[in-house]
Amino acid sequence: MGHMKYLGFNVQELTDRGAIHTAKEISQQPEIWQKVWSLVEGERESIQSFFDKHKEIQRIILTGAGTSAFIGLSLRGVFQRQTGILTEAISTTDLVSHPKDYLHADVPTLMISFARSGNSPESVAAVEMADKVCKSCYHLMITCNPEGKLANIRTKQDSYILTLPEEACDLSLAMTSSYTGMLLAGKLVAHIYELERMRKSLQTIVTYGQKIINYYAQDLKQLAELDFRRAVFLGAGPFYGTATESHLKVQELTDGKVICKRDSFLGLRHGPKAVVDETTLVVYIFSNNDYPLRYEKDLVASMKKGKAPLAEVGIMESDIPNVKLKNKIVLSENGYALDEEFLAVCSVVPSQILGFYKSLQLGLQPDSPSATGAITRVVEGVEIYAMH
C-alpha cells in the first residue's frame, strides 16, 4: 500500500495532511462507476417490475439535501424524456419547510430520494411528509448507506431501495464518489428498459474519468496555485447541476475562503457577471450538444468585455476549436458524443480535483476543511417540527 499514489501524493503524505480520504475518493470514481453499472445491471429486472407495477404515477420528484439535491438538477430532463412524466427536482430542504407548496394530494407521485448517509433529518422528513400529503406516493431511494435511516424507513406504499457499493459512502466531508455514483445510478435507472445500450457510454466515462485524474490533475494543481478568491462555474441543462455541485465542492473544500457562484451561460449576463473581477476563476462546463453550445460560445466571447477574470478554464468532451481559452480540459480524442447526463458524471471531476488542491494550498485539511466545525459530514442540529 505504501507505494500507492493518489493525485500525485503518497499515502503517508496524504494521511499527515488530513487528505487521504478525499484523494482516494476522487481517484476511485472510475472504479465506482463500473461497480454501479454492475449493481444496476444485477437489479435491472426488479427495478423494471417496480416501474411496471406503478403505471398510475403522474409526477416524479427528485430530491435530496445539499449535494444530493443537485443530482436531481442533472437528471430531471432525462427522467421526463424517458418516462413522459412531468419531473421536478425539489430539494428536501425546500420540501420540509413548505411541503404544501410542492406536494399535491391528488397526483400519484414517485419520489426518488438521493442520500449519502440517509441520516440527514430532512431526508427522512421529506419522505414522511410526502406520505402524509399525497394520497398515493411511491418511493425509490438511491443511497450509499444500507444502515441509514432513509434505507430503513417504513413508507405508506411500495418503495425500492438501491444501495450503492460500500466504497461510494465517502468518509470525507465533501461528497465526491457518492455524488457521481448516485448520479450515474439515477441515469441508469432512467434507462432501465434499454440498459444494454448504455454499456458503451459507461466504458467511455470510465476512460474520461481516468484521463482527468491521470493526465489533467497537474494542470488543475497549477490552476489551484493561482491566487483566486472567487470562482464562477457555468453550466446549462444537466450541466447546471454539475456547475452547482462544482461550486459547492470548491467552496466546502476551501472552507469558504474561495467564494463560489454558479449559473447558466445565459443567466450570467443578467446581473451575476458583476462578481467577475481580477481575483475570479471562471470555469465553463460545456455541453456537447450543438444547440446549447451556440449560446455557450457566445458567452465566452462576451467575457472579453468588462473586467477580465484572473483565469478561465473550459471542460469539454471534444475540443471546441473556435473557443479561445488558454486552459482546456478535453476528454475525447475521437469526437465521440455521450448523452449529456453521462458527460455530467465526468465533468464534475476537474472541480473536485481543483477544490482538493486549493484546500491543500490554503493549508487546510481536505478531509475536514471546516476549521470551526461549522459544516459537518452529516448535518446536525436540524429539528423537524410537526406539519400543520
For residue 246, which of 286, 205, 219, 211 has the smallest C-alpha distance? Answer: 286
Q: Is the pLDDT of residue 378 over 80?
A: no
What's the rounded mean pLDDT across residues 164-188? 96
pLDDT value of position 364: 96
Q: How far apart are CA 196 and CA 291, in angstroms?
A: 28
Q: How far apart are CA 211 and CA 350, in angstroms?
A: 10
Q: Is the pLDDT of residue 36 over 90?
A: yes
Q: Is the pLDDT of residue 321 over 70?
A: yes
Q: Is the pLDDT of residue 170 over 50?
A: yes
What's the rounded mean pLDDT across residues 359-369? 96
What's the rounded mean pLDDT across residues 308-316? 96
Give the tens place of pLDDT for each residue, 239-282.
Answer: 999 999 999 999 999 999 999 999 999 999 998 899 999 999 99
∠ CA(93), CA(111), CA(288), 5° rounding? 85
pLDDT class for 111, splitting at 50, 70, 90?
very high
Grid coordinates given for 129: 411528509
CA-to-CA separations, 360 to 9, 11, 218, 238, 323, in angstroms, rounded? 11, 15, 14, 30, 31
Q: Is the pLDDT of residue 119 over 70?
A: yes
User: Among residues of the chain, what percentage have pLDDT more than 70?
Assistant: 98
Q: At what angle do helices 340-347 and 349-361 cross, to 10 degrees?
A: 10
List the single range of 53-62, 215-224, 271-280 with lowest mean pLDDT: 271-280
pLDDT value of position 382: 82
Are the beta carbons of 133 and 115 closer than 8 angstroms?
A: no
- For the chain, the C-alpha Rg in angstroms (whole number) is 20
Q: Is the pLDDT of residue 1 over 70?
A: no
Q: Which residue has the higher pLDDT, 164 or 370?
A: 164
pLDDT class for 369, splitting at 50, 70, 90?
very high
Q: Which residue has the higher pLDDT, 29 or 382?
A: 29
Instruction: Output the average pLDDT for the chain.
Output: 95
Instruction: Sketch out the chain's domains with CATH numbers.
Output: 5-199 (3.40.50.10490), 212-361 (3.40.50.10490)
Q: Are strands 109-115 and 86-89 parallel, antiparallel or unpaired?
A: unpaired
pTM over 0.85: yes
List the single range of 46-50, 210-214, 369-373 with lowest mean pLDDT: 369-373
pLDDT class for 375, splitting at 50, 70, 90?
low
CB atoms within 10 A of CB 247: 25
pLDDT value of position 384: 81
Give the tens place of pLDDT for each residue, 94-106.
Answer: 999 999 999 999 9
